[in-house]
Amino acid sequence: MSAPTAAPTAAPAALTLRNVTKKYGALVAVDDVSLEVAKGGRHALIGPNGAGKSTLFNLVAGGLPTTSGQILFAGDDVTKRSAAWRARRGLGKTFQHSSLFLSMNPLDNVALAAQRVAGKGMSWVTSSGRRNSEIDDLAEQCVADVGLTDRSHIMTGNLSHGERRQLEVAVALATRPKLLLLDEPAAGMSPAESQRFIELVRSLPSDLTVVIIEHDLELVFQLADRVSVLHLGGLIADGPADEVREDPAVQQAYLGEGSLEELFHETPVPPDLPVSTTSAAPTEEVAG
């Protein structure tokens, strides 16, 4: 059994996975994963395509039941709890494909989360049109935090892809999470949008634990202090970002015969290698 190797802390870890397994018939999507995410940490979960990252995300978020194993949230067992219950206990998340309320403006999107936190999600006596300082202040604050104040009255369906990703974070932040799960937040973002997103995650309060599931290694090593690597459903490395960088097993999983230099540093990647960073620009070669 692979015991978690995280540094011992006085408080229980923000998130603990104990021997978490998910099987679809004979297929083992997540295989006996145990890990700890420290409170206030910036923890990345990486791995090649099909490694089981999104399945693991759904197990933690409550969208899928586990086959076996335990999921603990701040020391409490939440394995059997619904996604909504986990959200009420402070688990915020953003989806890989933006999941928003498209017929409303961004402010109403965020206010939906804020009014639930205020306990007024089913309130019949309170108007949603009249200003409610408890809810609207929080909503405006969250929209401002992600830099969408100027766009807050445009219909969400008309926002750009990058803006929707920002709004996803604002909605998640408005639930006042203790733990924020980000599923491939940079997927489909332009380099400029991606950079703005990194700034946004860096600006989050330091007592908020962030777990980021990501494909883009450049982004991961800019943000994360700890990295866990999944390969074929199993955990093959878990530790401080610098150590994981040097781990030969990780290199093997990602690159086969390639070298670490090509994986983690911004040296030009030969076109026949399967792994690419976001900076690939084939048109320049044609021009040269």
Partner 1 sequence: MKPKLSSALAVLSVLLLVAVPLVFPADIANTLSRVLALALLAVSLDLLVGVSGMPSLGHAAPFGVGAYAAALVARDTTSFAPVPLLVAVVAGGLFALLTGVLMVRTKGTYFLMLTLAIAELAHVLAQRWEGLTGGTNGLYGIPSLTLAPGGEPVTLAGVRYWWILLIFLIGFAIVWWTSRSMLGRSLRGLRDNEERMASIGYSTFWLKLAVYGIAGGVAGAAGSLWVAQNRFVSPEDLAFEVSAMALLAVVVGGRGRLWGAVLGAALVTIVRDDIGASLGGRGPLLLGLVFIAAVYLLPHGFAGTNWRQLFTRRPQEDKA
Give the binding site for partner 1 (CB under 8 A).
61, 63, 82-84, 87-88, 92-93, 95, 99-104, 108, 111-113, 115-117, 120-129, 135, 171-172, 174-175
Tokens of 253: 């999983």
CB 206, min distance to partner 1, A: 23
Cβ 275 vs Cβ 254: under 8 Å: yes
User: CA nearest 47: which of 265, 281, 247?
Assistant: 247
User: CA nearest 142: which of 226, 203, 198?
Assistant: 203
Q: Which amino acid is at 258?
A: G
Q: What is the spatial distance between Cα 134 and Cα 130, in angstroms, rounded to a whole number?
A: 12
Give whichever of 26 and 130 is closer to partner 1, judged by the CB atom: 130
Please enumerate in sequence order all residues whose Cβ is within 8 A of that of 170, keeping only pairs 6 or more positions apart, or say none. Answer: 106, 109, 110, 142, 143, 145, 146, 148
CB 31, min distance to partner 1, A: 26
- H or E element that contains 35: strand 27-37
Give whichever of 53 and 93 is closer to partner 1, judged by the CB atom: 93
Give whichever of 88 and 265 is closer to partner 1, judged by the CB atom: 88
CB 262, min distance to partner 1, A: 37
Give whichever of 55 and 194 is closer to partner 1, judged by the CB atom: 55
Give whichever of 79 and 277 is closer to partner 1, judged by the CB atom: 79
Pairing, β 209-213 against β 42-46: parallel
CB 80, min distance to partner 1, A: 16
Q: What is the spatial distance between Cα 123 and Cα 126, in angstroms, rounded to a whole number?
A: 6
Give whichever of 100 and 224 is closer to partner 1, judged by the CB atom: 100
CB 221, min distance to partner 1, A: 28
CB 161, min distance to partner 1, A: 17
Backbone angles phi, psi at 154, to 5 degrees: -90, 145
Give whichever of 95 and 264 is closer to partner 1, judged by the CB atom: 95
Backbone angles phi, psi at 273, to 5 degrees: -85, 140
> For 258, which DSSP code?
-
- Nearest 5 degrees, angle CA 192-CA 197-CA 203? 130
CB 116, min distance to partner 1, A: 5
